[in-house]
Chain A
Amino acid sequence: MAKLKLEIITPERVLLSQEVTEVQIPTLNGEVGILPGHTSLISQLAVAGILKYKDEGKERIAVVGSGFVEVFADKVTILSSLAEKPEDINIESARRELEAAERTLKSAEKDLDVNVTDALAKVERATVRVQAAQNK
């Protein structure tokens, strides 16, 4: 069976580099499923999302966000500054982060200095991290 090479690269290191049979990527325009032999494609990643990949029937996930994805017939490259593996996420601190982010977002209603877009992005990212940590 044809395989895809999935690479997730962060500015600090290569997070993941392995052969997979299927990938689902959260892009700005929505979820994209990639099978081997896909047409070349470039897209931006969603602010935060869960990437799913299948290897020999086993489904695994990774958190990605605000970055870029490049697809070739036999290769998928993800460039994301926020990528993480679920096993690297501490669920306690992820929950705390989510609470803090929600508080900031609420304060945005009164305080004009708070950037709503940033706050929203933080909430989204924290939510995704908590989800990923729960599903590991």
Chain B
Amino acid sequence: MPNLQGIRRRIRSVKNMRQITKAMKLVSASKLARAQSRITAARPYSVKLREMLSNLASRAGEYQHPLMEVRGDEHYLVVLITSDKGLCGAFNTYLLKTALQFVKDNPNKKIEFLCIGRKARDFVRRRNISIVNEYVGLVSKTINYTEGSKIGEEIIKLFTEEVEGNSRPDKVFILYNEFKSAIQQNQVFNQILPLASLNQGEVDYKLAASATDYIYEQPPADILSRLLPHYVETQIFTALLDSVAAEHGARMSAMDSASKNATEVINKLTLGMNRVRQAAITREIIEVVSGAAAL
């Protein structure tokens, strides 16, 4: 039979835990509100940029850009965005699973990772997969556009510049959690480079067709060549914002259910404790009564 004091101690420790998870939930909720407003504020830019891109692409004709260069299919670079901290439920788990599956599915390819977030780095490093660069501590603070676009620039550089004795990645992918709502995250696994030939996929034909005839102050190809790198950078930046918002959402719901579970455990323990206490009292009464009867 468990002793009373032991149960009391456990109840106390679970209560402490619940306090912490509750506090974390509240913190995440307020961080989520901020992250959410940032991602919603950032969306118009990428939407507009894409619109302009479609427009231009339909006018630029047969246009080639280093970022659109289709090479072999040997060397992949995966940009993996996770959180720095844990305690956010399955937020990282599924991403990392997908990443690992991707590596397993392509045994003959050279796959490298660019890790953003401590969890991504630790995971990839533990499995001895090569890392081209890592950003730890970035997603924990407020990300401004300059930081986001720097990573974008780095990826563009990796993709376009030839380095002696080292192959360039033929394809670049991005893997992260997209923010859907406070309780829903969507895993996104997209190819970002080379940019799909602009005359398919990326171009929204309806938009392009409805476009008015523009005056171009510079040749369309010129504008396009500036727009494309910018587009890649913006994609990385919004992915970062998305991931941060999703992380706080995931942590909030994880901590919410943790608090609920703690309450449940406390209730069970309290019930058990009362039972033990009652048994002890009953036993004592029996002892007293039988003692009196013996007299």
Residues of A within 8 A of B234 (CB): 11
Please classify how large the interface on chain B is, using the bins under 10, 10 to 19, 20 to 34, 35 or more.
20 to 34
Q: How far is the CA of A44 from the CA of B227 in the complex (A)?
A: 9
User: CB within 8 A of A40: which of B45, B46, B56, B215?
Assistant: B215
B52 CB, nearest partner CB in chain A, Å: 6
The minimal Cβ–Cβ distance linking A29 to chain B, given in whole angstroms, is 5
Known A-B contacts A9-B44, A28-B217; the reply to A44 vs B38 at CB < 8 A is no
Query: Nearest chain B CB to A125's CB is how many angstroms away?
Result: 13
Return chain A residues, CB-CB under 8 Å to B49: 79
A-B contact pairs, 20 of them (CB 8 A): A11-B234, A12-B145, A14-B44, A28-B218, A29-B217, A29-B218, A39-B215, A40-B212, A41-B214, A41-B216, A42-B55, A42-B56, A42-B215, A42-B223, A44-B226, A68-B223, A68-B226, A68-B227, A79-B52, A81-B145
Min distance, Cβ A60 to any Cβ of chain B, angstroms: 21
B129 at the interface (CB under 8 A from A): no
State the Cβ distance, A37 to closest chain B Cβ, in Å: 13
A-side interface mostly:
strand
Q: In the complex the two chains form, what is the Cα distance from A79 to B47 in whole Å?
A: 11
CB proximity of A43 to chain B, nearest CB, Å: 4
B38, B42, B45, B217: the one contacting A43 at CB < 8 Å is: B217
Q: Are A10 and B145 in contact (CB under 8 A)?
A: yes
Q: Is the interface of B mostly helix, strand, loop or mixed?
A: helix
Partner of B48, one of A28, A42, A72, A77: A77
User: In the bound complex, how far is the Cα of B212 from the Cα of A13, in angstroms?
Assistant: 27
User: Known contacts A12-B38, A12-B42, A14-B44: does B144 contact A42 (CB below 8 Å)?
Assistant: no
Indicate if B161 sits at the interface (CB-CB under 8 A): no
Whether B237 sits at the interface, judged by CB under 8 Å, is yes
Q: Which of A11, A28, A41, A72 interacts with B45 by CB under 8 Å?
A: A11
Interface range, A side? 20 to 34
Residues of A within 8 A of B48 (CB): 9, 70, 77, 79
B160 to chain A, nearest CB (A): 17
User: CB of B105 within 8 A of chain A?
Assistant: no
Please measure, in the bound complex, the distance between the C-alpha atom of A77 and the C-alpha atom of B220, giving whole angstroms: 17
Inter-chain CA distance A91–B49, complex, in Å, is: 31
In the complex, chain A residues whose CB is within 8 Å of the CB of B52 = 42, 68, 70, 79
Is residue A27 within 8 Å, beta carbon to beta carbon, of the partner chain? yes
Q: Say whether A43 contacts B216, CB under 8 Å.
A: yes
Contacts of A11 in B (CB 8 A): 42, 45-46, 145, 148-149, 234, 237
A10 touches B217 (CB 8 A): no
Considering only residues 1-41 of chain A, those with a C-beta below 8 Å from chain B are: 9-14, 27-29, 32, 39-41
Which A residues between 63 and 77 are near B, CB-CB below 8 angstroms? 68, 70, 72, 77
Interface string of B209-252 (1 = CB under 8 A from A): 00011111110101100110010001001000000000000000
